Amino acid sequence: MLHDLLIALTMLTNFTLVATHRVQKSIQVAAFQGVLLGFLPLSMGLWRHTHVLLLAAATILVKGWLIPFLLRRAMRQVQIHREVNPYISYTLSLMLCALGTGISLVLAHNLPLKPGDAHGLFVPAALSTLFTGFLLLVSRRKALTQVVGYLVLENGIYLFGMLLVEQMPLLVETGILLDLFVGIFVMGIVINHIRAAFDSTDTLRMAELKD
Amino acid sequence: MAWLLIALPLFAAAIAFATPSPTVRARILAVTGLLHLGALVGALRGWGTLPPDAWLGLDALGGWVLLVVSVLFLVCALYAPAYLELRPDRDHRIFTGSLLTFLAMASLLAQARHPGLAWVAMETTTLATAPLVYFNRNRRSLEATWKYLLIGSVGIALALLGTLFIAYAAQTGGLSEPLQYSRLMRESALLSKPWLRAGFVLSLVGYGTKMGIAPLHAWKPDAYGESPGIVGALLAGGVTSCAFLALLRIYAVVAAAGEAAFAQELLIGFGLLSMAWALVFMVRQADFKRLLAYSSVEHMGILVLGIGIGGNATRFALFHLAANALVKSVLFLSAGNIHRSYASKTLPFVTGAIRRTPVSGWLFLLGFLAITGTPPFAPFISEFNIAAAALNGGHVWIGAAFLLLLSAIFLGMSDTVLQVVFGTPSHERVRTPYKDTIATTAPLVGALVLALVMGLWLPRPLQEMLDGATRFLGGLP
């Protein structure tokens, strides 16, 4: 039952993420979510599989420490502390997140899942986390918070991957984590350039290119 | 051999990154391009003998796409030294490294026999090409890079979810990893249909974002418009072809499971929408690089439309992949030359290119004629046959819409192109040192000649490869 607790916590962190104003806090919460996800395969009693252990360790390392480190470094470099005036207000985001979670629960109930998976929280949690990631991506103006949104989106996909964790080849898992890490690394560099060029990391300013 | 194709460009990337001399570095590109194509031609002989449970290896479809990418890369690599010499102020250490890493990842993708591995390779091509878009290091290219990176990453994340859905479809049916494509296709009867369909839709959206089919192309005009012509050529013919390949692999699994009709409806819808959307933005488009970007949206639409129509059109969609890549390299590179010469890429500043840069002007004009389907260039063959397959296969309305859109796009595009090429040269023009030289035009002439030859004659081994790839897309592993 430990894993249900971890998943429930993950779903709660989604609400914190959409409601938080401070960039530092949203990075912290995203890191916390990453650590929760890292412990998830261990809580499912999969200790015997070496590759699951490796995956858990790598996830905690990358999502809980390396990526937050990169994001925090980017935050210090660009001197951004608050997300001001998001496109969708915090109250509305919270309500949308709640709605999304509700819809995910209903939707997951109606999916043709394997008998063993039908009662778990994995699928609703995956869908609601995906939704939260999208919400952050479209509603936030700062480049850095958009990257947090992308990270949360990936967390949602990772949650769905938990249904397949016993079988997934290690090569593929490693590749996915590595790509996520490098992706956020590159985004961090670009954010730094954005600030140097635009004197702001507000993506609203980047509107020169259009037809 | 499989590893050599991946390791060679990676090794060259490391060397290029460490080389201090810019001229030597630019030559490494050309040498690697030649060696890669040579190694590939050697490796292609064995495409029919791939063991079914291999993780890496060339089959007909992967071999065909990689051949296209490798030829395109060679054209760009031969053009690169002269181009980079024109931009002495730009450090191209990262640029060269990224180009070569892209080639390595394209080789990995083309040879990947497992959907997860293919996904990893596709995502890495996004990351490897992002620094290329930022080559000009100004605000506009930065905006383009950010959009490219973020939209591309989100799109490709959805493709990952689609890949996981397909793995779940297999698990629900009692199949266990490792699930190579060939195994998924052989045992397709066991796959859970709802998950397979959902997986295909997500893969279409995800890889479709990387291909830039409408309405998922938001990054495309910006990325192609703000990056150097050489990057535009590689994105329009290379990265998009890789994404199309990743999508086709999933499509083949869906077709093997007997769900082709469902997938084809979606592909036809996206294909026609892309062409129509591109048409709207091509009319009165003053920026000729953005014009080419919308032309790329159109041709990605033609590719998915061809697969959607099926039958003989499948084969010619694959043929069109090569035709599009070759002609797009001519267009983007000549557009880059004209851009260098005028220090601008918009009307009304750029007019009368045929007098100022005669060779590039002609190449741009011929490239335009070729891509819009003028015989006897290769795109004519594929566009004609896709239309014929649609009309003969009972898709009369789709065939008619396809032909109508093609002619409208010809008219829409010709307006801008003819002004760029033939218009009266503007008096208040900027003086630039750029002049057409052999080094900046010969690779383009080569690509155009190849597109011409392909339109008239295709060697037998290549035809057999196309047949093999078409069979694969029919659902036979």
Q: Mind telling me how many Å the CA of A190 is from chain B's nearest CA?
A: 7
Report yes or no: B114 at the A interface, CB cutoff 8 Å. Answer: yes
Q: What confidence score (pLDDT) does residue B149 get?
A: 92
Q: What tens digit of pLDDT does each residue of A65-116 get? A: 999 999 998 888 888 777 777 888 889 999 999 999 999 999 888 888 887 7
Retrieve residue A112's tokens: 């043709």
**B157, A190: Cβ pair inside 8 Å?**
no
Q: What pLDDT digit, counting tens, does each position of B215-268 carry? A: 999 999 999 999 999 999 999 999 999 999 999 999 999 999 999 999 999 999
Q: Which of A153, A186, A207 sits opposite B127 (nearest CB)?
A: A186
B211, B243 contact by CB (below 8 A): yes
Quote the CA–CA distance of B116 and A171 in Å, as a whole number.
9
* A78 token code pair: 């660009």
Of A167, A205, A156, nearest in space to A7 by CA: A156
3-state secondary structure chain B: CHHHHHHHHHHHHHHHHHCCCHHHHHHHHHHHHHHHHHHHHHHHCCHHHCCCCCCECCCHHHHHHHHHHHHHHHHHHHHHHHHHHHCCCCCCHHHHHHHHHHHHHHHHHHHECCHHHHHHHHHHHHHHHHHHHHHHCCHHHHHHHHHHHHHHHHHHHHHHHHHHHHHHHHHHCCCCCCCCHHHHHHCHHHCCHHHHHHHHHHHHHHHHHHHCCCCCCCCHHHHHHHCCHHHHHHHHHHHHHHHHHHHHHHHHHHHHCCCHHHHHHHHHHHHHHHHHHHHHHHCCCCEHHHHHHHHHHHHHHHHHHHHHHCCHHHHHHHHHHHHHHHHHHHHHHHHHHHHHHHCCCECCCCCCHHHHCHHHHHHHHHHHHHHCCCCCCHHHHHHHHHHHHHHHCCCHHHHHHHHHHHHHHHHHHHHHHHHHHHCCCCCCCCCCCCCCCHHHHHHHHHHHHHHHHHHHCCCHHHHHHHHHHHHHHCCCC
Sign of the torsion formed by the C-alpha atoms of B233, B237, B240 and B243: negative
What average pLDDT does this structure show over B87-114?
A: 92
Report pLDDT digits (tens) over B434-470: 888 899 999 999 999 999 999 999 999 999 999 999 9
d(CA B243, CA B203): 10
> B146–A175: do the CB atoms touch at under 8 Å?
no
Chain A residues touching B120 at Cβ < 8 A = 172, 175-176, 178-179
**pLDDT 10s digits, B41-100:** 999 887 777 787 888 989 999 999 999 999 999 999 999 999 998 888 888 889 999 999
The structure tokens listed for B318 are 């694959």
- A170-198 helix and A50-61 helix, angle to the nearest 10 degrees: 10
* Beta carbons of B177 and A169 less than 8 Å apart: yes
In single-letter form, the type of residue at position A152 comes to V
A209 Cβ contact partners less than 8 Å away, ≥ 6 residues apart: B140, B143, B144, B147, B221, B222, B225, B226
Residue A190 has its nearest CB partner, among B117, B146, B221, at B146
* The token pair that represents B320 in the structure block: 């069109």
Return the SS3 of A122.
helix
Look at residues B114, B79, B109, B105 and name the one whose alpha carbon lies nearest to residue B329. B79
Question: Could you give the CA distance from residue A152 to residue A33 in angstroms, rounded to a whole number?
Answer: 8
Residues with Cβ within 8 Å of B255's Cβ and at least 6 positions away in sequence, in order, are B263, B473, B474, B475
Helix (H, G, I), strand (E, B) or coil at A120: coil
pLDDT band at B110 (very low <50, low <70, confident <90, very high): very high
| A127 secondary structure, DSSP code | H
Beta bridge partner(s), residue B346: B287
Distance CA B335, CA B29 (A): 21
Q: Above 80 in pLDDT, residue B193? A: yes
Closest-CA residue of chain B to A176: B120
Q: Which of B120, B149, B178 sits opposite A176 (nearest CB)?
A: B120
Give the list of residues 6+ apart from residue A45 with CB closer than 8 angstroms, or none: none
Q: What is the pLDDT of residue B433?
A: 83
| Chain B residue numbers touching A161 (CB-CB < 8 A) | 164
Torsion angles phi and psi, residue B436, rounded to 5: -60, 130
Residues B345-360 have a mean pLDDT of 88
The 8-class DSSP code of residue A111 comes to: S
Q: What is the DSSP letter of A142?
A: B
What pLDDT score was predicted for residue A118?
A: 65
Query: Is B160 within 8 Å of A176 when comparing Cβ atoms?
Result: yes
Predicted pLDDT at B269: 96
With CB atoms and an 8 Å threshold, state whether B146 touches A203: yes
pLDDT tens-place string over residues B286-298: 999 999 999 999 9
Interface size, chain A vs chain B, as Cβ–Cβ contacts under 8 Å: 117
B chain contacts of residue A116, beta-carbon cutoff 8 Å: none
Chain A residues within an 8 Å CB radius of B140: 208-209
Distance CA B48, CA B70 (A): 20
| Residue B410: band (very low, low, confident or very high) from pLDDT cuts 50, 70, 90 | very high
Closest residue in chain B to residue A206, using alpha carbons only: B143
Report helix, strand and coil shares of chain A as percent, to nearest 5.
Answer: 80, 0, 20
Q: How far apart are CA B328 and CA B220, in angstroms?
A: 14
Instruction: Kindly state whether B134 is in contact with chain A, defined as any CB-CB distance less than 8 angstroms.
Output: yes
Q: Do A179 and B127 touch (CB under 8 A)?
A: yes
B136 CB-contact burial (10 Å; exposed 0-12 / middle 13-18 / buried 19+): middle
Two tokens, residue B34:
């030649």
The answer to whether B161 contacts A146, with C-beta atoms less than 8 Å apart, is no
Q: Please name the member of A172, A175, A186 whose beta carbon is closest to the beta carbon of B130.
A: A186
Residue A203, pLDDT above cutoff 70: yes
Are A184 and A147 a contacting pair, CB within 8 Å? yes
- DSSP per residue, A49-106: -HHHHHHHHHHHHIIIIIHHHHHHHHHHHHT--B--S-SS-HHHHHHHHHHHHHHHHH
Are the beta carbons of B120 and A172 separated by less than 8 Å? Answer: yes
- pLDDT classification of A204: cutoffs 50, 70, 90: confident
For residue A7, the distance in angstroms to the closest alpha carbon of chain B comes to: 19
Confidence of residue B408 (pLDDT cuts 50, 70, 90): very high
Please give, rounded to a whole number of angstroms, the shortest distance from the CA of A166 to a CA of chain B: 9
- Which 186-215 residues of chain B touch chain A by CB within 8 A? 192, 194-195
Distance from CA of A150 to the nearest CA of B (A): 7
SS3 A130: helix
Does the pLDDT value for residue B164 go beyond 80?
yes
Q: How far is A41 from chain B (nearest CA, A)?
A: 17
Q: How far is A102 from chain B (nearest CA, A)?
A: 21
Mutate to test the interface with A, among B129, B141, B168 (most CBs of A within 10 A): B168
For an interface test with B, give the residue of A140, A162, A165, A190 to mutate (most B CBs within 10 A): A190
> Is B120 close to A175, i.e. CB distance below 8 A?
yes
Contacts of B133 in chain A (CB under 8 A): none
pLDDT score of B32 more than 90: yes
Residue A118 CA to residue A137 CA, distance in Å, equals 30
CA atoms within 13 A on the CB side of B135: 27
- Which amino acid, one-letter code, is at B262? F
Q: Residues of chain A whose C-beta is under 8 A from some C-beta in B?
A: 111-114, 130, 137, 143, 146, 150, 153-154, 157, 160-161, 163-164, 167-169, 171-172, 175-176, 178-179, 182-183, 186-187, 190, 193-194, 197-198, 203, 206-209, 211
Instruction: Tell me, yes or no, if B23 comes closer than 8 A to chain A by beta carbon.
Output: no
**Is residue A206's pLDDT more than 80?**
no
Are B254 and B200 spatial neighbours (Cβ–Cβ below 8 Å)?
A: yes
Contact call for B116 and A160, based on CB within 8 A: no
pLDDT at B316 over 90: yes
Question: Which residues share a beta bridge with B287?
Answer: B346
**Domain with B241 in it:** 2-473
Q: From the list A146, A157, A208, which residue is nearest B157 (CB)?
A: A157
Task: Say what the pLDDT of residue A119 is.
Answer: 67
| Residue to substitute from B108, B135, B158, B160, interface A, most A β-carbons within 10 A | B160
Tokens of A166: 């016993």
Cross-chain residue pair B192–A211, CB shorter than 8 Å: no
Q: Which residue has the tokens 């086709």?
A: B248
**Whether the bond into B215 is cis, omega within 30 of 0:** yes
The answer to whether the Cβ–Cβ distance between B116 and A171 falls below 8 Å is: yes
Q: Computed from CA positions of residues A63, A65, A70, A73, in that sequence, does the dihedral angle turn out positive or negative? A: positive
- Say yes or no for a CB contact (<8 Å) between A146 and B150: yes
